[in-house]
Amino acid sequence: MSWLKKMFGDGEPAEKSTISKEVRRQDELVLAPASGQAFPLVEAKDPVFANGIMGQGIAIEPTDGMVYAPFDAQVTIAFETKHAYGLKAPGGAEVLIHIGIDTVSLNGDGFKQMVKQGDFVKSGELLGSFDREKIVAAGLGTTIMVIVTNTIDYTSITSLVEGSVVHGTPLLKLEI
């Protein structure tokens, strides 16, 4: 065997690899970011969310003032007003967690933010907290909207629970 053949083979094509370099997207789960009463998004008292303009999702009337990461994610948006978070999962899901109705008007008063844009968080990690009583005293709603902002990337988004929910339990199934 010549040194050329030894180094470069005999010129025959190698067998095709059975390993694809393309990452296959899979169905994803969104866990409840808060404890409370889950209900269909269409029943939310905010027409922008209720009409699905931002995407499909679910609403939660919280029983406490804590908001947690619904999956491992990168924080893509942490609003200065501390009332909303944008998260992106490794599988591609993009979720907006919006705390309250018209709470942007509070300009951060009554909210604490534990993360910032660019951070990586683990499922169940505390994103922030809010003072429910302060929101209600301002005449605003405390409903948390959980919106899949890239709804178009999925064939269906299914609510897995309605009624009482504890943060960390499966909330939405995203099917490709």
pTM of the entire predicted model: 0.85
Residue 15 to residues 4, 6, 10, 11, 19, Cα–Cα distance (Å): 20, 18, 13, 12, 12
Residue 84 lies in a domain: yes
**Residue 16 is assigned to a structural domain of this protein:** no
Report the CATH number that the domain containing residue 45 is assigned in CATH: 2.70.70.10
**Would 2 be classed as within a structural domain?**
no
Residue 84 lies in domain: 25-175
**Residue 92 included in any domain:** yes
Q: Is residue 49 part of a domain?
A: yes
Say what the pLDDT of residue 74 is: 98
Three-class secondary structure assignment of the chain = CCHHHHHHCCCCCCCCCCCCCCCCCCCEEEECCCCEEEEEHHHCCCHHHHCCCCCEEEEEEECCCEEECCCCEEEEEECCCCCEEEEECCCCCEEEEEEEECHHHHCCCCEEECCCCCCEECCCCEEEEECHHHHHHCCCEEEEEEEECCHHHCCEEEECCCEEECCCCEEEEEEC
Active site (annotated) includes residue 83: no
- Within a domain: residue 142? yes
The whole-number average pLDDT for the span 29-38 is 98
The pLDDT assigned to 21 comes to 36
Q: What is the pLDDT of residue 17?
A: 33
147 located within any domain: yes
Look at the chain and report how many structural domains it folds into.
Answer: 1
pLDDT digits (tens, 9 = 90+) for 77-114: 999 999 999 999 999 999 999 999 999 999 999 999 99
**Residue 4, C-beta contacts closer than 8 angstroms, at least 6 positions apart:** none
Residue 27 has a pLDDT of: 87
Residues 66/33/91/75 CA torsion (nearest 10 deg): -30
pLDDT digits (tens, 9 = 90+) for 44-76: 999 999 999 999 999 999 999 999 999 999 999
Q: Give the pLDDT of residue 3.
A: 31
Q: Look at residue 6 in the predicted model and tell me its pLDDT.
A: 36
With cut-offs at 50, 70 and 90, classify the pLDDT of residue 25.
low
Residue 50 located in a structural domain: yes
Q: Which of 82, 83, 98, 167 is catalytic?
A: 98
pLDDT in tens, 108-158: 999 999 999 999 999 999 999 999 999 999 999 999 999 999 999 999 999
Task: Round the average pLDDT of the chain to a whole number and report it.
Answer: 88
